[in-house]
Amino acid sequence: MREVATTRDVLLHGHRIRYRTAGRGPVVLLIHGIAGTSATWDEIIPALAARYTVIAPDLLGHGDSAKPRGDYSLGAYASGIRDLLAVLGHSHATVIGHSLGGGVAMQFAYQFPQRCDRLVLVSSGGLGEEVHASLRAATLPGSEWVLPLMCAPGVRDAVNSAGSMLARLGLRAGPDLEEGWRGFCSLGDADSRRAFLHTLRTIVDAGGQRVSATDRLYLMDVGLPVMIVWGERDPIIPMQHGLEAHAAVPGSRLELFPGAGHFPHRDDPSRFADVLLDFLDTTEPADITDEKVHELLRRRAS
């Protein structure tokens, strides 16, 4: 019997965090991308929940979570994930991040290595400079005034027109277009737009992604199981980033999804769930100590 996720709220540092949860067992944490929500994982959660406790939050500033003025950096998101796990009674988890969520997941593994059992990066940000032109454009001065016009109710109601616009940006029919449209519609209110721009500008500028983990991927060589998943036709972040990350992380596993775009977990949820469960079955949770990390840092510094 497929277990359906329940939606719950928790108060974290005075701000509401909405999250989906299901199942029992070791914890698997799912982190969505920018302008996304935990709903992106709906087709994956039941397969995982048969054997694992699944937690999928709406990140602060996204979905039905609070959207305060505040810190939307990767470090702040990683700390928020740690605190959410603690409030829910968990000290560690396998962390799976898509797009922006991949950057958050890597930051979590960097800041709190003892709390990260495994790391799965899905079409992840933070692994190279290239990113879709629409995201670079959204960081430009004046976007605060342009976005409200683009996201006005009359425009958002013109679904066919918006679909055509997104298609012209390179988003293919199917999950890329569906998720792009859902993200576009999520920017209908001022608080959501402000949070979106704050988040985007911490990681992207007009030249592309400006936050990169490539100079410290070597830190994953401390017994952390890593899997990288990418759609071969990703129009948002090029597949080459995944290939280069795989080459840089010893022992990492690479899974490419032919024909898939930026959302391989939506393009082929059955295969994605199978690949993920196989990764969980064939790896052991990391046992990372401060001593291991410090030794690796010293070796690289010498």
pLDDT value at position 157? 53
- pLDDT of 98 > 80? The answer is yes
Confidence of residue 149 (pLDDT cuts 50, 70, 90): very low
pTM above 0.85, yes or no: yes
Confidence check: pLDDT of 293 > 60: yes
- Out of 3.40.50.1820, 3.20.20.80, 3.30.2130.10, 3.40.50.300, select the CATH number for domain 6-131+211-301: 3.40.50.1820
Looking at residue 94, what is its pLDDT?
A: 98
pLDDT tens figures, 55-73: 999 999 999 999 999 999 9
pLDDT the model gives residue 188: 75
- Indicate the domain borders of the chain: 6-131+211-301
pLDDT tops 60 at residue 220: yes
Catalytically active residues are 99, 234, 262
Mean pLDDT along residues 87-92: 97
Residue with the larger pLDDT of the pair 184 and 286: 286
Minimum mean pLDDT range among 26-30, 76-80, 179-183, 278-282: 179-183
Nearest-5° Cα angle at 100, 300 to 277: 85
